[in-house]
Amino acid sequence: MPVGPPCVSALESNGTKFFSPLPNEQKQLDDGDDPYAARHGETRLFTAYRQRMGTDEAKAMYRRRAAAAEFPNANCRNHGLQQFRVRGRLKAKAQSLWHAIAYNFRRFCNLKVANSEQTMMDVLLMSEPIHSMT
C-alpha cells in the first residue's frame, strides 16, 4: 500500500506512530514549498504526521530503521526469501513468519554463544540446566 493520507490515517488512528519520508518531500523542498505544512483536505492525523516528520527527532527515528529492519530483510533474502514458493496471501504470510522465526532463532543462538563459554551445539542441545524460578 503506498504511503498517503488513507494509509497513514489508518495507522495513526490505531495508535501507531508512523515514520516515513513524506511523498515528494525532496521535490517540494527543491521547488521552495514547505512539505511539512498542512494541506487543504487532509485529515488531522495526516497533518500531524506531516508536521512530525519535519522535526529532527522524527528524522532521527526514521534513520534508526536501517539498523533495525534492513539487516533482517537482507538476511531473509540471502536465505531464500526472494520469491514465494506458495500461492495465496495466507500461505505467503506463513512462509514469511517461518523466515522470521528462523532469523530470530539464529540471532538468539548467536547472541547466547557470544555472551557465554558455550558452543553453538551446546546451545542447540540445551546442555545447560534450566533453573526453575523460586
Rounded to whole angstroms, the Cα distance separating 48 from 61 reads 16
Orientation angle between helical segments 44-52 and 5-13, nearest 10 degrees:
90
Q: How confident is the model at residue 128 (pLDDT cuts 50, 70, 90)?
A: low
In tens, the pLDDT along 19-31 reads 888 888 889 889 9
Kindly give, in sequence order, each residue whose CB lies less than 8 Å from that of residue 22, ignoring residues fewer than 6 positions away: 28, 35, 36, 50, 53
pLDDT of residue 77: 85
**Which residue do the cell numbers 505544512 mark?**
37
pLDDT of residue 23: 81
Q: How confident is the model at residue 93 (pLDDT cuts 50, 70, 90)?
A: very high
Res. 58: pLDDT tops 80: yes
In tens, the pLDDT along 97-122 reads 998 899 888 888 888 777 777 666 66
With H, G, I as helix, E, B as strand and everything else as coil, classify residue 44.
Answer: helix
